[in-house]
Structure 1
Amino acid sequence: MQELDAHIDFYNDLLQEQNRQNEACQRLQSIPGFGPVVASVFYSMIGNGENYRRGRDVSAAVGLVPKQHSSGGKDRLLGISKRGDRYLRSLLVHGARSVIIQAATKDDRLSRWINRIRAERGYNKATVALANKMARIGWAVIVQKT
């Protein structure tokens, strides 16, 4: 176990160093729910963001949008599509869970939105909605360089 812990610490330090050298990863880590691992995986998948027209395209590529089965003007949205990058989706969902846990005690704009969605739709749907929002915000942060 100690040897495994030493390996984990080594790779965590390596990841931290790479994130310090990458400006986009540093900006991504300013988003609630984005840590060093999530930021590096998100940046490695999205790159500079020029392959996507908007944030929704990134969410769809990750698999965080509802699956559509619509025809004849009747829109039917099913559960989330779960297509795309499974690993990045799970990291975004776990990051969203940590933000949702902390949102109960805060009163900023994002926390109010999270608490309202959680009250209306439930914990799991609020988690996926926040993960979707995080992916869109992440794309905007990378593209706009702010």
Structure 2
Amino acid sequence: MAPTLISKNDAADAAAICEAVTRPQMRFVPIKDEHQQATLTLHRTRQGFVEERTALYNRIRGLIAEFGIILPQKVERLRREIGAHLEDLPSWANRCVGDMLEHADRLDERIHEYDRAMAESAREDDRCRRLMQLPGIGPTSATALVASIGHGHDFKHGRQLAAWLGLVPGQYSSGGKARLGRITKAGDGYLRSLLVLGARAVLNSLGDKQDRHSRWARALVERRGYWRAAIAIAAKNARLCWAVLTYGEAFHLTADAA
């Protein structure tokens, strides 16, 4: 008997949705309250300003390179060295680059305002204050996590949260052989990037610290390399964040947990 071809239409979509919601393993997107939505709006707007600023500096570097002026990629050095070259640009080019630099200054001011707003919001929230006790979790990461997952009750355990953020290896297993690849990079890329940036901050600030967490991170870098260590720390922080949000005051961060 030949298989029946089901066309793509609204009725078929509705039937598929009804079938899906009856399955026991189906997971649903948690509903966010107004405070969470407002906080995420703050994050998305700030991130948009950051991306616009990055694109603006890249545009400046590309335009002045057409006149043979090559400057470093780092923003601090670009802003410090570009002043000496502005007079070498033709009139309209000089004015355009100056206007873009002024616009970048305004973006910097807006970004700093949003950073202060996030820091104030984090200080006023008990959950954020507990999250910021973890190494590599600052006001930006804490407020973003609370606004995105709330108390974390939609995840059964911390590893599920790490998997939702794409911080676990992808599986390519078949025939009884387990094969693990690169991280999946699934889920919310913004949260994942914040956790990875926090992990990199932990690695960059290790120095000569001899606490248990620092020794573990240092050994991980020596054994697996910098980037794999950063991903491992980010995944561990995701699991610890889930525990902090789920258990609240009942969860006590010990030296072994950190």
TM-score normalised per structure 2:
0.55
* Structure 1 runs, 4 residues or longer, greater than 4 Å off: none
Q: 1:110 deviation in Å?
A: 0.6
**CA deviation string 1:68-93 (max 9, x = no partner):** 01123211000111111111111111
User: Structure 1: which 5+ runs fail to align?
Assistant: none
Which whole-Å CA distance do the structure 2 matches of 1:104 and 1:70 have between them?
A: 39
Q: 1:20 deviation in Å?
A: 1.9
Q: Match for residue 119 of structure 2?
A: 16
Q: Match for residue 109 of structure 2?
A: 6
Note if 1:57 corresponds to 2:153.
no
Q: 1:141 deviation in Å?
A: 0.8
Question: Aligned AA for 2:210?
Answer: D
TM-score normalised per structure 1:
0.94
Q: Match for residue 248 of structure 2?
A: 145
- The equivalent position to 2:239 in structure 1, one of 130, 136, 141, is 136
Q: What SS does structure 1 have at the residue aligned with 2:143?
A: helix
Question: Aligned AA for 1:111?
Answer: S
Q: Match for residue 230 of structure 2?
A: 127
Which whole-Å CA distance do the structure 2 matches of 1:85 and 1:2 have between them?
A: 29
Question: Aligned AA for 1:93?
Answer: V
- The equivalent position to 2:128 in structure 1, one of 25, 28, 37, is 25
Q: 1:42 deviation in Å?
A: 1.4
Q: Which moved more, 1:117-126 or 1:66-75?
A: 66-75
Which whole-Å CA distance do the structure 1 matches of 2:138 and 2:233 have between them?
A: 15
Q: Which moved more, 1:126-135 or 1:100-109?
A: 100-109
Asked which structure has the greater RCO (Cα within 8 Å, sep 6+), the reply is 1
Q: Which moved more, 1:118-127 or 1:11-20?
A: 11-20
**CA deviation string 1:19-44 (max 9, x = no partner):** 12211011111111011101111112
The aligned length equals: 146
Which whole-Å CA distance do the structure 2 matches of 1:143 and 1:50 have between them?
A: 6
Query: Please, what is the CA RMSD of the aligned residues?
Result: 1.2
Question: Aligned AA for 2:163?
Answer: A
Q: What SS does structure 1 have at the residue aligned with 2:205?
A: helix
Q: Which moved more, 1:126-135 or 1:102-111?
A: 102-111
Q: Match for residue 203 of structure 2?
A: 100
Note if 1:43 corresponds to 2:146.
yes
Identity of aligned residues (%): 45
User: Structure 2: which 5+ runs fail to align?
Assistant: 1-103, 250-258
Of structures 1 and 2, the larger Rg is shown by 2
